[in-house]
Amino acid sequence: MKTEEKREFVVKKIPFNTFKISLILSLSFFILKLLKYISWSWWVVLLPIWLPPAFMLMLFLCSLLGIALISFLVWLFQIK
């Protein structure tokens, strides 16, 4: 039971750490942009906010594609 509880805690903690790192990077880039220490475009400054959701969306779409491909192959070869 204790290993399962620890495993659940680690899985729940990963997205928060990712969000925290993205937030810290975005805030630091935002401050540097406002203070004119960097001359990056605004989409580059705010990119750390969009990377984790974009990565999750990419994983979701790849898994849907994989499920569709497997379903098609099962239908094509009539594997039962």
Domain boundaries, the chain: 2-77
pLDDT digits (tens, 9 = 90+) for 38-67: 999 999 999 998 888 888 999 999 999 999
Indicate the pLDDT class of residue 5, thresholds 50, 70 and 90.
low
Residue, of 5 and 25, whose pLDDT is higher:
25
Task: Give the C-alpha separation, 26 to 32, whole Å.
Answer: 10
Task: Give the C-alpha separation, 11 to 53, whole Å.
Answer: 17
Q: Is the pLDDT of residue 31 over 60?
A: yes
